[in-house]
């Protein structure tokens, strides 16, 4: 599921093209016109284009999104720069099987502006977090994290680009681990055995 330039999606697809790939991408979900939709058309992978504006309200969007994604029968759902909060219908169907990549070291700097917020706060390190999605904003159990140092001359763009190069590898690694080994949840702790 993606809304942006889709570079994390491309990384997931590259990994799924490898001869020893552990997973395949069943469908690509977008909520707007974006590069991720083009990637779907170029790759021939089913596109699920599901926009809030096409529904009477958010709940109707959420329910139909759950139904359409469910029809693709995914084992795991990955949000890779999907700029919408998933609602109760979606999470009750896929809860515990939705993975998100966030461009900061959670629980610091959750939300849509994680890179800018870390920069504005003046922290010296930030990074990437891959976590399970729950009904909060970037609050689910953490699966993996990696640190990225902040440079004095960093802009939001330069920092985000360095974080994204980490996210691309980390997310594909975690998805590979999840499909091959699963995950054990113990309270807040997520352990990939
Ligand atoms: C990533 O930094 C992701 O964590 C954030 O949006 C970015 C997506 O990048 N939520 P891209 O669209 O895959 O290039």
Can you give the pTM of this predicted structure?
0.97
- Where does ligand 1 bind, in terms of residues with CB under 6 Å? 2, 4-9, 80-81, 101-103, 164, 167
Give the single-character DSSP code of 175: H
Coil, helix or strand for 111?
coil
Taking alpha carbons only, the member of 82, 78, 44 closest to residue 176 is 78
What is residue 2's predicted lDDT score, i.e. its pLDDT? 97
What is residue 55's predicted lDDT score, i.e. its pLDDT? 98
DSSP string, 29-70: EESSS-HHHHHHHHHTPPEEE--GGGSSSHHHHHHHHHHHHH
What is residue 99's predicted lDDT score, i.e. its pLDDT? 98
What is residue 95's predicted lDDT score, i.e. its pLDDT? 87
Helix axis angle for 7-17 and 156-181, nearest 10°, is 40
Query: 152 CA to middle of ligand 1, Å?
Result: 23
Domains parsed from the chain with CATH numbers: 7-191 (3.40.50.170)
> In the numeric block, which tokens belong to residue 23?
């997973």
Residue ranges, the chain, pLDDT below 50? none
Q: Tell me if residue 113 is catalytic.
A: no
What is residue 59's predicted lDDT score, i.e. its pLDDT? 98
Residue with the smallest CA separation from ligand 1 atom 10 is: 81
Angle of CA points 58, 132, 60, to nearest 5°: 15
């Amino acid at each position: 599921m993606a809304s942006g330039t889709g570079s994390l999606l491309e990384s997931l697809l590259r990994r799924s093209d490898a001869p020893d790939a552990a997973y395949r991408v069943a469908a690509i979900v977008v909520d707007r016109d974006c590069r991720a939709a083009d990637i779907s058309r170029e790759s021939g992978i089913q596109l699920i284009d599901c926009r809030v504006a096409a529904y009477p309200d958010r709940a109707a969007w959420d329910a139909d999104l759950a139904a359409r994604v469910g029809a693709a029968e995914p084992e795991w759902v990955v949000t890779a720069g999907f700029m919408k909060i998933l609602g109760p219908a979606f999470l009750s169907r896929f809860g515990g099987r939705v993975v998100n990549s966030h461009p900061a070291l959670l629980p610091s700097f959750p939300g849509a502006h994680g890179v800018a917020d870390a920069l504005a706060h003046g922290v010296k390190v930030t990074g990437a977090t891959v976590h399970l999605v729950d009904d909060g904003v970037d609050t689910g159990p953490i699966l993996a994290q990696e640190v990225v140092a902040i440079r004095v001359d960093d802009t939001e763009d330069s920092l985000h680009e360095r974080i994204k190069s980490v996210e691309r590898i980390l997310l594909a690694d975690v998805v590979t681990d999840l499909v091959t080994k699963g995950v054990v949840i113990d309270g807040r702790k997520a352990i990939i055995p």
